[in-house]
Structure 1
Amino acid sequence: MHRVGALLHNNHWAAFSQGSRLKGEEENRRSLARRIWRGRQKHGGFAGKDKGGCRRGDDPGPGDEYFRLLVENINDVITVINADGTVRYISPSNERYSGFSHEELEGRNPLQFIHPDDVTTVTESLTRLASTPGGVEETEYRIRSKDGNWRYVHTVGKNMLEHPLIRGIVLTASDLSELKDAKRVLVNREKRYREIVENLNDAVFNLDGQGRFTYVSPAITRISRYAVDEIIGHSFLEFVHPDDMEGLLKSLEATLAGRGEPFEFRVLDRDGTVRHVRTSSRTLFREGDLAGITGLMTDITDRRQAEEEAQRFKAIADNANYGVAIAEISGKLTYVNDYFADAHGYTPAELEGKDLSVFHSAEQLPRVLDLTHQMSGGKDLNAVEVWHTRRDGEAFPMLMNLVVVRDNTGNPCFLATTAVDIMDRKRWEEALRESEERYRDLFENASDLIQSVDPEGRFVYVNRAWLETLGYTPEELADLNYLDIIHPDSMSHCAEMFERVMAGESLAGIEAKFVAKDGMEIVVEGSASCRFEEGKPVSTRGIFRNITERKKAEEELELYRGHLEELVEERTLALMKANERLQEEIAERIRVGEELEEKNIELDAFAHTVSHDLRGSLSLIRGFAQTARSEAGRDEYGGFDECVGHIIEVTQRMEDFVASILAYAGARHSTVDAERVDIAMVLRDVLEENEKNIARLGAEISIQSGLPAIHADRSHAYQVFSNLIGNSLKYMGDCRQPRIEVNCREEGDMAVYCVGDNGAGIEEEEQGYVFEPFRRCGGPSHPGLGIGLSTVKRAVEGWGGEVWLESTPGEGTSFYFTAPLA
């Protein structure tokens, strides 16, 4: 192998000696240029015909100076490399590109100026060239210019080492930097545009003359769920909703005619789901002929759905049974529904464009401005009572929710409010408050003995009647135990009752004998229950009635049976006087009910119901009393005992009515004695209370295991389940296999309880008022005050819950209510 080839093959250019320089470098450089051109003439390089084909190689032609000037002024760079790998000659044009003069390069190793990543390529190319006499190699690589930048060159090399005039490798290099830069710019620009197109949310598409997709951007997959390769080559009509086909074809005809406008239509995605799209398109021409259509497809499904949703919301707002109003931040009204407008005495059309101040008098505006200031600080206002003024000048209150609606950047866009006219409710609440005060006064001044005892038997609370009856002062209670007031005859019985109550039982019909401070014996009858906190007993609640006189009367009846006629006459007279007093009381209640009739429908219904039931009961009392008197004169007194028994039964029913009313009145006060309530224990007491009815009906009771405890007043929880289960038993109808189910599910921090049955169900027209007080379903065949379910509603709402029902006549009813989890 030639020496140059060997050296290049071993990649030792960097170790080449620069060697001795020729004397007279300038003269040698010019002489070399002449020899290059002469060598090319001799070996067919530049010899031969010129463009005109008139000059041959034997034509003496121009002289050496001509070729020197030609070599030194061409744009390409000519380089001659010695056999030892150093630069012997480089044309002056090199300085224009690299900034190096020929003096700085001649005699040096050229690999010093080649990009490190291209050294191997150049070395391999020169190695092949050096090993092939007369051979030619083309190579592209980068060289370093004097300013440190890299320039691309294209080199054609020829092995002329054996040429007697050249004796070297001749390289002709063309600068490709500008071409490379331009190409790079085009590539980057194409890449950038492609990235823009392929990352658009909208799909760019091209159709050929037959309407087939020739290109579609990746956004089509998000719109249609089809991959790009699944769409290319298919007709766009394959994806169009059939109902929109005719309209789309007309739109395309207009586009082809140069009148194209955006068009909205539906397409079917891969799953068959309908998507709404909007296209804008124009025609494509190639060499003057129509080649197809190009366009942009936008998915507007969300916008269409938002528009439809807005229309639905507007329809809901237009027909809502509460007020809805929307205004600009400046206060200019843009929407008012019928309820809101009618509440103020206007029509919606009359209010559009008006200022919010139209709803308020001068006296009300300061309050409104204060609320507006709060809202401007980013605060939404819920359940705010605001006074308004009607068109006729009447002031009235509205319960309002006010919000500031903001855009994505947090800037306020408009004001929105919902409102309810609460004038009637305010009147009703006032009347109800007065009624509650009367009931509260009745409770505080009750003649029954009320007491509360802790687990150690110490008194926690007693009422005034208890103190007055037993003769103790409030200060003396601290040193008393409940056993201190129990007569020895009742000691063991009361101790047993106390343990059962502390264990969670609610007991009724307890009869015991108390001992007053002065030693007087007092016979009482009543009930007791226990309040629990976190599963532990806290205190008992007992209500007892002093029946000492009744007991004495019973004893006197037993002792003076022989004087029964005189006693019956006296008792009858007392009953008649009591009847007269009751009649006077009923008349008074009717009078009070008539006075409150216009103010409170509920109190009117209450007075009507009570007067009706009490009058019926009194009539029974009168009838049985008269019968007893007539029977008393006979030799056999069995009829008398039966009448007295009926009298007691009717008076007990009257007492139950009053207890129901008191339960209804106190049902809303649920937070005073809120505690952890074990529902399983409550249900046990309720089922025990209804044991006879359950057995009579043969009803099956199904209770879900592991029912969660709730945070509420235990007595109210008992009322709720007692009324719901009692109601199910009452309305079982002709069901052959009665069944009642109690179950629960948890939703967040609330328990959702359900009491369901397979009874007679509730007619649809009755379902709307079942929770109203003094309204009974099913007609007179189902007796009662009609306040059981309204008591349930009051108790549930009192602890912050909701109550509702689901019923199918003939199949049964399910009552649902929510309560906070304990």
Structure 2
Amino acid sequence: MRPRPPELNAEQQALRRSVHQYEQLFRMVDGVIWETDPHSRRTTFVSPKIWDLLEYTPEAWMSTPYLWEACLHPDDHDRVLQEREVGNRSGQPYQLEYRALTASGAEVWLRDLTTPVIEDGVLTALCGILIDITPHDTRQVQQARAEALLQNSTDVFAVLNVDGRFTYVSPAVERQHGVLPEAVLGLHFTEHMHRDDAARARTDFQRVLTLQVPSAIGTYRQRRADGSWGWMEITVTNLLSHPNVQGILSNARDITDRKLAEAALASSEGRFRSLVQNASDLITVLDERGTILYESPSVHSLLGFAPEELIGHCVLEFLPPEGHAEVLQMITGLVEEGAGATVRPTYRFRHADGTWRYLEGLVTNLLGDPHIGGIVINSHDITDRRETETALKISQQQLLASERLASLGRLTAGLAHEINTPLAATMNYLHVARRLVVEYQDSIGHPEVTPDDHREIAAEVLTALDDAGKTTTRIGEFIRQIRGHTRDTVKTSSEFDPVKLTNDTLAMLAYEARATQVELHLESVRGQLRLTGEPGRFTQVLTNLVINAIHACETVTRTRRVDVRFVSGAGELNLQVEDNGAGIPPDVLPKIFDPMFTTKDVGKGTGLGLAIIHDIVQGHFGGRIDVQTQVGQGTIFTVQFAT
């Protein structure tokens, strides 16, 4: 049971009767009575008919500064303000006619009868009455449009009495909640509201009912006909004094989708913030001058700094001086390229302990992003990886050198034989030449030795020296060939003739082929061939393949043969080494390029040869190696070089 209001005394009762009489008078006037402070331009009074005329409550009209000016039609705005200024200076009653826009955007024509209030020569107030002079047919169209909007609006419009019970509900309630309007009439507005929101809704309703505020907006959960909960944004306005409403107006809008989207966004932002805050990678934001605006917490574990120690500093303070110009150029380039431009630099960053760490970053221009407004750098520490890569490179170089020495060792016996034979011949020719020179010397002045004898001795000496020179040249050729296998190959990349190198290499391998009774052939080549790379690496590939082919023939009883040939065309050059040896068993074939794998006896192979040349062909020459083999018939290794 509601408590009874306290009894009023005679003075209060008289005041209430006076207010009631004035309200009745205001309702009888066919217009809106108003009063405005000319200095603050705030409306100090407006009669309830302002709702009928412009669709604003008296409370909203009085609490919103400059609302009258805002309602003026744009085409009449400046004219009306000038005419009002002139009328105010005159101090005499005046009238204005103009168009105004209602809260819903409808256009109405108004006649504004204004009276300036002058006290002691000072303008203290403006009073007047607004009269609707909109043509009747226009007003009917506007009313019909308003009724259509009300009937078809997705928002639910309702009127509540002072007890908070529905006295009117618009048809949208069926579309929004799945119930008919008549099923809602008489129910309290909290009937289907979530219990956790009902108390707050009652408080908002009471504040509007007692005019503590002209209107209130709140978000609440309400149960639908299917039992699910939806989020509603409800605006309640006190229109008890409005003759056509006489209740609390409620405008309810379904914002469930918006709430779900906001929740999803909040969850996404929280997840993203958690990922950024806990990521092992370093996330940095710079402005266009290189000043650090943000550092993720991972900067402490990666670089030993707290984020606040870096924020506000120029990033150049932590980079090596020799790289400053390049960094500034990179930032300038990103800014000039515009939104979304990216680069992927590798750079050194100073650790808090003074050491340098290598970082690999993705730098993106997000200066135009309203949520970021900077250049974002996503970096991760690659110091350990670089050290590992350096150690691996040194190890690879050592393996290459080891294999080259192993290959050289296999050539030593043949090299010694090939050099020893021409060396012995050279020494013999020089011995003959010496003997002839001594004979020539002893014959000088001898009466029986004629000049023709001297010329004959000299000719024999020259012949011996020519022969010695030829055998010495042969020795020099072998030395040149062996240097091709021992020189440093790291800095000798150039364009070279692969056929000439092949001839030189096969000459060095001839002794080993003869010792194994293998016929070694280089098929003739038409035209000139060129390759680009390190010649020493080419000879390393060829030597390994030929020696393996020679060894593959050791167990066969037929005529042993190794053929080397070049096949060119279609932008590539193929080197083929074919033998008619034992072939490669199927279970061994998949493993031949694996490091440390060998089928040879201990001391005859390192297990690195094919693995290394596979890496040389792919990594250095950009090619590939194919193998065709048949057990008991032989094998063909085909090396494809890109030209």
> Scaled by the length of structure 2, what TM-score is found?
0.43
Larger RCO: 1 or 2 (CA < 8 Å, sep 6+): 2
TM-score, structure 1 normalization: 0.35
